[in-house]
Structure 1
């Protein structure tokens, strides 16, 4: 008979999760793979260093620098791969003790407040103010009476002002040769490449870069939102969920239909809209 812990000891149950849901790191890793993104691409778009991304996907949050930074990294990575960060933050707080409750500061100083003593009414000042008010009222009444008589004579002697009427049927005339202003899409500059994206019926994660590699935008485009990008030579796009995106290039609508949930990598230059 063995004295040590048996294989069925309750202490071994500590290694198993309380429920069947994926861990935070695995959920982020699966979402990144489903979006067709590499760790390098996620690191470049979120500014989270590659070793920290790897550590978080392995559920190692010790390299984040504390709970506050860990929550921030989880929220940033979740948005980059197109999943809701709120559930992951809730899971993190339930697994790591949640946030400390703030201590109200007001009661600590309640006892130290200095309460002023009630003041006694100053009857002398009240009487002086009443006398000044009476004298002022009498003077104002006399002055107003004289002005009213003089003003009435001036009105009786002066001619009545003429009223100008305008015909209700008068309509503004149009200047011949006037042309309507061109639309914003038609007025795109010809010496640049202009790309406009609109999320029609769902959200989509997008990344846009200029020809020199500068990151123009990286994040979620919510339903109904639009983004416009310009560059002198080229605009490179990555669409994490290309289906709901409506795309205009150099003022012309791209008629190509993208599949919902598909990842598309596109590149557009000046001239005719052709995807790379």
Structure 2
């Protein structure tokens, strides 16, 4: 059951007309009709829609969590990180994670440098004709 259908069912179960609910909640009747038709665009944003749903649930003596949970799953678009939104609109390049340096490669490079340094020490000490005391 959609959220709008649930609102309609709850309102009719409470034996209220749209005008009655409008007077109780101070939400315009035209907006209540839109909400019952599953159109939440005229609510003024997601925050206002949540507030209207809480108000309606309170007046109909229903747990507001029911309306809000359905609203979150059916209506609210999943939020993406800003970087993803910008890359989707070609405002920025897609984010690429830096490649991790392998510890094995780092250890092998260090070992190779030490071996070269040691080999150079041995070669230069042999090539030197200075007497050893």
Matched with 1:77 is 56
Q: How does 1:1-276 map to 2 (within 5 A)?
A: 22-95=1-74, 96-97=76-77
> After superposition, what is the alpha-carbon deviation per residue over 1:25-59, rounded to whole angstroms, capped at 9, x for unaligned?
11011111011111111000100001000000110
Whether the 8 Å CA contact 1:93–1:99 is kept in 2: the answer is: no
Count of matched residue positions in the alignment of Structure 1 and Structure 2: 80
Query: TM-score, structure 1 length as denominator?
Result: 0.27
Query: TM-score, structure 2 length as denominator?
Result: 0.55
Where in structure 1 do 4 or more consecutive aligned residues deviate above 3 Å? 98-101
Q: Using a 3 Å threshold, how does the CA distance of structure 1 residues 85 and 100 change in structure 2: closer, same or farther?
A: farther
Matched with 2:119 is none
Larger RCO (CA within 8 A; separation ≥ 6): 2
Gaps of 5+ in 1: 1-21, 102-276
Bigger proportion of residues as strand: 1
Bigger proportion of residues as helix: 2
Gaps of 5+ in 2: 82-133
Specify the structure having the higher radius of gyration (Cα). Answer: 1
For 2:80 and 2:54, the matched residues in 1 are separated by 19
